[in-house]
Amino acid sequence: MDEDRFNIELRKFLKEVGVTSQREIERVARDGLVSGNTLKLRMTLTAENAPLQHTVERTIALEGDADPNP
């Protein structure tokens, strides 16, 4: 495995995931499609050809200064 090439491709993938996910999250918040004052997010990363399943969860406050993740 070429470590440099792998890291470049991985960074490209993560950048695409980050940018497109942020756009979609902002869209639902901006368009008023969220019930309540918090947005409960879950991102699950899987791979078709490897035993990979990684989940990240976060609740984001849409109004006020309260941190929903103390």
pLDDT band at 70 (very low <50, low <70, confident <90, very high): low
pLDDT band at 65 (very low <50, low <70, confident <90, very high): low
Give the residue carrying structure tokens 């969220």: 34
pTM, rounded to two decimals: 0.81
pLDDT digits (tens, 9 = 90+) for 6-57: 999 999 999 999 999 999 999 999 999 999 999 999 999 999 999 999 999 9
- Cα–Cα distances (Å) from 37 to 23, 34, 60, 63, 66, in that order, read 19, 8, 9, 6, 10
CA distance 21 to 4: 26
